[in-house]
Structure 1
Amino acid sequence: MKQPATTDADRASKANRPSMLLTNEENEQLFGLLGRRCQTQCTAVVQLYLTQSPAHASWVKKWTGALCFVKDNIRKSYYFRLYCLKTNRQVWEQELYEKLDVTKPRPFLIVFEGAEGIVAFNFAMEDEATAFMNTTTSTLHNRNRRRDDRIKRNSTRKDPPPARPPPVSNQNNAFDNTVTLRHKPSFGAPTA
């Protein structure tokens, strides 16, 4: 069977989004680290900060690297993934959970509550911070809207009517089922 032709627009929508601060070679290196059937919707150069447990009162810089907003088609979810291009590996990951509350308190800073505490991305470029925030909020909005639509569809769906027993038919009986009583039945106490 012949595959449908892909247009330039199709290829562009499926293409990985590079960082403006990385060279073409660095972006290609990064795209090679994403994994099979993974696509970066947005890429930026950041410093990753986490709050320190148990009080979560101070920030600790954990990594500097290339942050990708990844659509993982195999795991059917979205992730923030941070890669170190010097060591050529992924160094941190956070799945976008359903009720993720992402804020942008500064033009270069995005903050949210992650699995390990409060997470902050300090962006090297404000334009990349804005693109990241827009991609994150639109993806979360679309996922929540689809979930709400699915819940609404399921709640308005009517239950099927109860099953009725099949009608009884005597068409296959060759005998007359008429009963003739020879005496009148007695419903009183039996006699001995």
Structure 2
Amino acid sequence: MIKKNFITAVALIALVSFMSCSDKDKFVVEKGKVGKITKETTIKELKEIFKKDSISSKMSGSVSEDDYFKEEDEYFIFEKGGKLLLTITPKEQQDSLSLIKSIEIHDQRFATKNGINLASTFAEINTNYRLRVESTLLSVTLFLDELNATMTVDKEELGLKDFTIQQVSLEQIPDLAKIKSFVIWFD
């Protein structure tokens, strides 16, 4: 009787730990991986990966020869209840067998092994990753080469309100600056 209860308890513990690991994997962010999506995932496979969620898409229309003005297809992954989780852009437009170009993360449950997510401050990111910085008119882009990712910070977080491409250094970014966007690139 004790042996039977022991075996049942061990099986139950194994099942619970398997379920918690798979749930944790659902939100892991690594180089070449966001949740269950990897560099080898095709657009067609998204339906199976997110079968319990909802997928919406915005298609680019016709394929244009002019890459500068070309729109891109976008696939939006919504959790049950309507919360936007991810925006996925394929490498090839209007091709269900295309691999993924990039994933923009909209949910702070998606995090790196160091716990970096959309709710992280600049100080947390700067402590955990080596960063490069580039300025645009309205924001500063942080390049996390270790993850092949970019994060943006609004220039207003830096106290800059004018529309200039003035170069900003890492030292100029306040420790408590908040992240506006988080994108993982699959190239």
TM-score by length of 2: 0.25
Higher relative contact order (CA 8 A, sep 6+): 2
Q: Select the structure that is richer in strand.
A: 1
TM-score by length of 1: 0.24
Find the structure with the greater CA-based Rg: 1
